[in-house]
Each structure stands twice: as C-alpha cells, then as structure tokens.
Amino acid sequence: MSASKVTVAELVAAARKARRAAQAHFSKFKVGAALETEDGQIITGCNIENATYGLTMCAERVAMFKALSEGHRRFRRVVVVADTQAPTPPCGPCRQILWEYAGDVEVVMANLKRETGRHRLSDLLPLPFDARLLKKK
C-alpha cells in the first residue's frame, strides 16, 4: 500500500466536524467518525439515535455504510471523536463491521482538543469471526 495522502490531523478535523451533525437527542453523547479510503478520500459519519433507542447507529457504522454505498472498498484508517477525556473506542458491533469491511486498519481516537489513543483494529478485536471461517469445512 502506498503512503497516506491525508494526515491524521485532517481526519480528526473531519470527524470533529461530522460530530456536529450527530443526532444524539437521548444520550447527548455526540460522536463523529472519519474513514480514510485507500485512495485518500475522507468519508465521515455521526451517531444517529432514535426514540426507540435500539435503532441507534454509531458514527463509525454510519461512515462505513456511507463509504460502502458510494463504492469504496479499501480503507487505511478510522478516526473516532467524542467530547471525553478518556478515549472513546468503537463498540463491539462497530469493531465487527470495521473488521469485515476495512480489515486491520489503524483506529485513532481523539477528543475536541487532542488525540487520546491509537490502536490496530486486530488489538481491539482479537480472534475475530469473519467470512474466511464460513468457507472452512
């Protein structure tokens, strides 16, 4: 894979901007995400809540579903931004979706002022279940 065309700072800025559109009326916990595609495009998402609560969609999955629906298939990194001192890592379902569609990407966490953490997705989701296992007899 060739060198990145966008910086982490640009991705963090995009995720912070996306976070402003969050529909977090119930939790008040606004999240923004930014995916970097292999060819250097930035696809963002924010969390979208719902009055039945259970239909809530996290920022990371909104970003990934947007990206997939626009034809993107290869990714380098994902940035997650929340207004917290501690890192806000992707939830379990988001880790699964990110793993299946983005592979072992770098996951960068940030708040409104600074970066709060950086991990490989494989460290956040050890021993994943994925399509390779469906083919094994």
Cβ density class 101-110: b for 16+ within 10 Å, e for less: bbeebbbbbb
β-bridge mates for residue 46, sequence order: 32
Binding mask 5-34 for ligand THU (x = CB under 6 A): -------------------x--x-x-x---
Nearer to ligand THU, 32 or 72 (CB): 32
Binding positions for ligand THU, 107-126, rule CB under 6 A:
none
Least Å distance, CB 73 to ligand THU, is 23
Residue 60 appears among annotated catalytic residues:
yes
Cα 99 from Cα 4, distance rounded (Å): 20
47 near ligand THU, judged by CB under 6 A: yes
Compute CA 99 distance to the chain's CA centroid, rounded to the nearest angstrom.
11
Among 11, 37, 43, 49, binds ligand THU (CB under 6 A): 49
Alpha carbon distances (Å) from 95 to 17, 20, 85, 127, 136: 22, 23, 21, 12, 23
Nearer to ligand THU, 4 or 56 (CB): 56
Number of other residues whose CB lies within 10 A of the CB of residue 76: 19
Binding mask 57-76 for ligand THU (x = CB under 6 A): -xxx----------------
Name the residues annotated as catalytic: 60
